[in-house]
Chain A
């Protein structure tokens, strides 16, 4: 079989397809797409079941603790499961599905994993302060012409561009 592992989809085409996916999500689920929301729901479910007393007293977990249905029973949790499995299948189709840590040759896998976890944690906190992440607040927000959506995308990419300079040694 020919090596297809280096061939990626045209990014502009992928962007247009992503737009159609948001439309489909609104049509079928009545909600947009999102990433951080799914993790938030998993965290809420875990906290409300492990520490029910704490969650009732906490402002953040209160709504989940008092809700009738399980906080994990949301469209976003299933969407993210689909994203993970779909990504695995799509990666396999392109011959890219392997278990490895990708990093710059100048740093070790360990450094990469530590910074990835730190980045993920900051992203989690940021997405909760901003009430959504790139996909939830940004893409889904822009799709419904919300000002905050446009603002979020601008600030996310702007600050990303700015801060990339400080961390460029991790990559180049």
Chain B
């Protein structure tokens, strides 16, 4: 650790000399937000394209994970709040220049839709879990189906959720992209944190989130063609991600001194090994090698590249949130 003597009249714990108010909750939330955006994006896109039966897991099954992970992320956010009981005040206004406002409203809209979507495919999800080692999901879904038969209001919602699939898919397609971009813009709006204050963070987090969504789908897929299709999509996304990462650093190095110092944290500084070794190599390049081998006909258990992509996606957000709080203008 570098020792630093700091003489100042200011007394702002957790902010001075280093911002340290965001712990595990925020990166976890950004990760699950990206993952949910990816799952919802693929479901809506392939539904609208008419590939419902070509990619059944992507359209019908995997989206059930989205509301679950969003709820987990929201729980993490509430844990992070100093005054959890006031969270609803985010919904009392809408500020077009505030990414947090965009995020709150997007989540508010996507949450019910992301529940309705898998609800309309509940029988397919039941079939998917039939005969699995873990009986819990199957029992839970069977119970929900029983409720559909028993109460007319639930049956009514179910019937409408099927009829409304197309408009839901159109809205979800837009909202999922907003959600994915928002997870990055949320950070880049902090103009006092040089590492975050780059416009490339929005598209980078979007691509990374969609890539984790593709990884989750290929892990869950039963059909070989679907696995291969999502493996190819993922490979392309990894390529785009690497392109963005390289350009992010090129941008930093061509920028002002504070941003060059922010980049130095990753180019010889304390985050070098974990960023390049664990995220770029283990979380992007290694799974990419496995996926390329799979495309050439080698037998690869798909869970290995899928796990490393999900791991890399989560780690990337933890590193960016951690490192970003260290970078500052105070020199």
Contact = CB atoms under 8 A, between A and B. Distances in A.
A81 B279 CA distance: 12
B300 A92 contact: yes
B299 interface: yes
Contact of B299 (A78, A81, A89, A92): A92
A78 B277 contact: yes
A85 interface: yes
Contact of A78 (B273, B289, B300): B273
A1 B293 CA distance: 13
Contact of A92 (B1, B273, B277, B293): B293
Contacts of A85: 282, 286
B180 to A, nearest CB: 28
Given A78-B273, A78-B277, A81-B282, A89 B290 contact: yes
Contact of A97 (B1, B277, B300): B300
A131 interface: no
A92 B278 CA distance: 21
A73 B299 contact: no
A93 B297 CA distance: 10
Contacts of B277: 78, 81
A98 interface: yes
Q: How large is the interface on A (under 10, 10 to 19, 20 to 34, 35 or more residues)?
A: 10 to 19
A92 B300 CA distance: 6
B304 interface: yes
Nearest to B293: A92
Given A95-B299, A99-B303, 13 more contacts: A73-B273, A78-B273, A78-B277, A88-B286, A88-B304, A89-B293, A92-B293, A92-B298, A92-B300, A95-B298, A97-B299, A98-B299, A98-B301
Interface of A: 1, 68, 73, 78, 81, 85, 88-89, 92-93, 95, 97-99
12 contacts: A1-B298, A81-B277, A81-B278, A85-B282, A88-B304, A92-B299, A95-B299, A97-B300, A97-B304, A99-B301, A99-B303, A99-B304
